[in-house]
C-alpha cells in the first residue's frame, strides 16, 4: 500500500476505536512520525492532508522544517539535549519529551530570548523501563508543578512510550496509568497548567491507547513503512 492509503487506513482505525469507546474522533490527532524518511515521503503525506509530523532528532527536524510548507505542526518526540533546544524552540508546535526540570529551564530560557511561548508535554516512564527516558510516575506531579512556574513554557499534558509487546492489550495498563496521573494533576488545579493532551500509542498499540484517552497518537511504521537505520 502507498502512504496515502496507509494514512486512510490508520484514520479509519482511529475512528473505529473512538466509536468503540464513545469518543469523538476529532479529539484524537494523528501525528505522522517521519523520522529517517525522505522529504518526498512527507510531501505525499502532506498532500493527503497531514499537518502534524513527528521527528526525534533536532537536525532532521530543522532540515525538514526548512524544506516543507510552513503550515505544518512539528512535534519533537525524541530525547532532547539541552544544548540543542535553541535550534527548535521557534519551530516546534509541541515538545513531547520533557523529562527534567533542567531541560524545561533551558526551553524556558530560549523561549524568552526568542520571545515565543513553547508548549510541552512531560514524558513519563510509566512502565519503569530502564532503557527509556521520562520522569517516574511518582515525580511527574512535582515536575509539572515546577515547570509551571517558568516563563514562556506551557505544560499541555503528558506523554509516554509504552514497552514493545506482541499483544497490544498488555499496554493497556500503562495507558490507563498515564491517564490516572493526568487526572490527578488536573484535580490539583495548578496555576499555569492547562492539561488537555495525552500523547500515547504508536503503530502497534494506538487503538488501545485511544480507548484509554489518547489525544495524540504517534504513528510511523503504519504510515511510512519499516525504518532502516543502516542506509
Instruction: Give me the least distance between CB of 189 and ligand PLP, in Å please.
Output: 29
Give the separation between CA 226 and CA 107, rounded to whole angstroms: 32
Residue at grid coordinates 527534567: 100
Total number of residues that touch ligand PLP (CB under 6 A): 14
Residue 24, classed as helix, strand or coil, is coil
Grid coordinates representing 106 are 533551558
Beta carbons within 10 angstroms of residue 229's beta carbon = 6
Binding window for ligand PLP (CB under 6 A); candidates: 45-53, 63-71, 113-121, 215-223: 215-223
Taking residues 128 to 167 in sequence order and writing x for each that binds ligand PLP by CB under 6 A, - otherwise, the string is: ---------------------------------x------
Q: Does 215 bind ligand PLP (CB under 6 A)?
A: no
Binding window for ligand PLP (CB under 6 A); candidates: 43-51, 100-108, 172-180, 220-228: 220-228
DSSP string covering 35-98: TT--HHHHHHHHHHT--EEEES-HHHHHHHHHHS-TT-EEEE-S---GGGHHHHTTT-SEEEEE
Instruction: Give me the least distance between CB of 77 and ligand PLP, in Å please.
Output: 4
Closest-by-Cβ residue to ligand PLP is 220
CA atoms within 13 A on the CB side of 147: 32
Instruction: Give me the least distance between CB of 119 and ligand PLP, in Å please.
Output: 17
Exactly one of 4, 43, 203, 215 binds ligand PLP (CB under 6 A); that residue is 203
Q: Residues 199, 215: contact at Cβ < 8 Å?
A: yes
Q: Does 209 bind ligand PLP (CB under 6 A)?
A: no
Strand pairing category for 94-98 and 73-76: parallel
Minimum CB distance to ligand PLP smaller for 72 or for 202: 202
Binding window for ligand PLP (CB under 6 A); candidates: 86-94, 139-147, 186-194, 217-225: 217-225
Residues 32-91 that bind ligand PLP (CB under 6 A): 33, 35, 56, 77-78
Give the separation between CA 209 and CA 162, rounded to whole angstroms: 10
Binding window for ligand PLP (CB under 6 A); candidates: 6-14, 39-47, 114-122, 212-220: 212-220
Kindly give, in sequence order, each residue whose CB lies less than 8 Å from that of residue 64, ignoring residues fewer than 6 positions away. Answer: 34, 39, 42, 53, 55, 74
Residues interacting with ligand PLP, by CB under 6 A? 33, 35, 56, 77-78, 161, 202-204, 218-222
Amino acid at each position: 500500500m502507498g502512504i496515502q492509503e496507509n494514512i486512510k487506513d490508520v484514520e479509519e482505525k482511529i475512528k473505529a476505536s473512538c466509536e468503540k469507546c464513545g469518543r469523538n474522533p476529532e479529539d484524537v490527532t494523528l501525528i505522522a512520525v517521519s523520522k529517517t524518511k525522505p522529504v518526498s515521503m512527507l510531501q505525499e503525506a502532506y498532500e493527503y492532508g497531514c499537518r502534524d509530523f513527528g521527528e526525534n532528532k533536532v537536525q532532521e527536524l530543522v532540515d525538514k522544517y526548512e524544506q516543507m510548507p510552513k503550515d505544518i505542526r512539528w512535534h519533537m518526540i525524541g530525547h532532547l539535549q539541552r544544548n540543542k533546544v535553541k535550534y527548535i524552540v521557534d519551530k516546534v508546535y509541541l515538545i513531547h519529551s520533557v523529562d527534567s526540570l533542567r531541560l524545561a529551564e533551558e526551553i524556558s530560557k530560549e523561549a524568552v530570548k526568542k520571545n515565543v511561548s513553547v508548549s510541552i508535554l512531560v514524558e513519563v516512564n510509566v512502565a519503569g523501563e530502564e532503557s527509556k527516558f521520562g520522569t517516574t510516575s511518582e515525580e511527574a506531579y512535582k515536575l509539572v508543578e515546577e515547570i509551571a512556574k517558568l516563563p514562556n513554557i506551557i505544560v499541555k499534558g503528558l506523554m509516554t512510550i509504552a514497552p514493545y509487546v506482541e499483544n497490544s492489550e498488555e499496554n493497556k495498563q500503562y495507558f490507563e496509568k498515564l491517564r490516572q496521573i493526568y487526572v490527578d494533576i488536573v484535580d490539583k488545579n495548578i496555576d499555569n497548567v492547562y492539561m488537555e493532551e495525552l500523547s500515547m500509542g504508536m503503530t502497534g498499540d494506538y487503538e488501545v491507547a485511544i480507548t484509554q484517552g489518547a489525544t495524540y497518537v504517534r504513528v510511523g511504521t503504519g504510515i511510512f513503512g519499516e525504518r532502516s537505520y543502516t542506509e
